[in-house]
Amino acid sequence: MRSCVLIILLVTILIGGKEHCYAQQGPNDTIRLGGIVIGQDTFAMVYLPDVLKTDKLPRYLARRRAYMNQLKYNVYKVYPYAIIAADVLKDVDGNLAKLEDDRKKRKEYLKTIEKELNKRFKGELENLTITQGQILVRLIDRQTGKNCYSIIKELKGGFSAVVWQSVGLIFGNNLRREYDPEDRDKDIEVIVSELEENVFYKYKYQRQQALMYSQNKK
């Protein structure tokens, strides 16, 4: 408060008590300061920034915000892998169709793809949390239109699909579960929809995808 009074006092002295809205300009002055004249007193006219005063969020809203912030972090973390998985699956389906019923060549091709993907992503995927893994499974379904159980069954057979489903259930990850943007997964859908509108994000992970393919071809 003292500092404000001192500033007003100094400005009043500089203005010199003249009854107009601007200070007189001297040889060393560079800024004109507006003023307000009240009676015989002149006061500096200073615009202060607006101050927004808010109360603490209710507890349930604070919990909801914390939940959405954490969910957003996890979705942003795994979404690129879902995009890449969808593109790889599209490539794999196309190449397998060309091999038709040649089981030997199909098996060799799938082993090659699996080896390349392990080399590129195994370390990164092993560092995901259980929750992030659950979200990734849902997003792969979203991007491919197939749940992870069906994908494993198509590529590695029914026995492998059952084994992986059993392992997934231990960690609360149902590979048969389908993506539900209208109900169970509506919060994820909101985040992904906002994310997909971000042009920079699309560009960034298009570059990542291109890098993956270039590394696989080496």
177: in domain: yes
Q: How many CB atoms lie within 10 A of CB 87?
A: 15
Are 127 and 212 members of one domain? yes
Tokens 């990850």 correspond to what residue? Answer: 173
The pLDDT of residue 171:
82
Are 168 and 64 members of one domain? yes
162: in domain: yes
Using alpha carbons, select from 84, 116, 89 the residue that is nearest to residue 205. Answer: 84
Query: What is the signed CA dihedral for 95, 99, 102, 103, rounded to 10 degrees?
Result: 10
Query: Rounded mean pLDDT of 31-59?
Result: 81
* Confidence band for 185, pLDDT divided at 50, 70 and 90: very high
Are 118 and 157 members of one domain? yes
Query: Rounded mean pLDDT of 87-103?
Result: 80
Are 76 and 9 members of one domain? no
pLDDT over threshold 80, residue 5: no
Q: What is the pLDDT of residues 49-70, one digit of tens each?
A: 888 877 888 888 889 999 999 9
| Those residues with Cβ within 8 angstroms of residue 110's Cβ, 6 or more apart along the chain or in another chain | 92, 96, 155, 156
pLDDT over threshold 60, residue 6: no
Are 37 and 94 members of one domain? no
Q: How many CB atoms lie within 10 A of CB 79?
A: 22
Cα separations in angstroms, 204 against 38, 70, 77, 200: 60, 22, 13, 6
Structure tokens at 49: 């920034």
pLDDT over threshold 60, residue 14: no
Are 204 and 98 members of one domain? yes
Using alpha carbons, select from 195, 169, 170 the residue that is nearest to residue 82. Answer: 195
52: in domain: no
Query: Rounded mean pLDDT of 35-53?
Result: 82
Q: Which structural domain, as residue segments, surrounds residue 177?
A: 59-216
Q: Does the predicted model carry a pTM greater than 0.75? A: no
As for how many domains the chain has, the answer is: 2
The better pLDDT of the pair 33, 144 is held by 144
Are 26 and 75 members of one domain? no
The pLDDT of residue 108:
82
Query: Rounded mean pLDDT of 95-106?
Result: 79
Are 178 and 85 members of one domain? yes
Query: Rounded mean pLDDT of 185-206?
Result: 79
53: in domain: no
Average pLDDT, the chain: 77
Are 40 and 64 members of one domain? no
Q: 4: left (phi > 0), else alpha (psi -120 to 50), else beta?
A: alpha
Are 97 and 189 members of one domain? yes
pLDDT over threshold 50, residue 196: yes
Are 88 and 6 members of one domain? no
Are 210 and 179 members of one domain? yes
The pLDDT of residue 27:
58
Q: How far apart are CA 181 and CA 212, in angstroms?
A: 29
Q: How far apart are CA 35 and CA 21, in angstroms?
A: 5
The pLDDT of residue 21:
44
150: in domain: yes
49: in domain: no
The pLDDT of residue 18:
44
107: in domain: yes
50: in domain: no
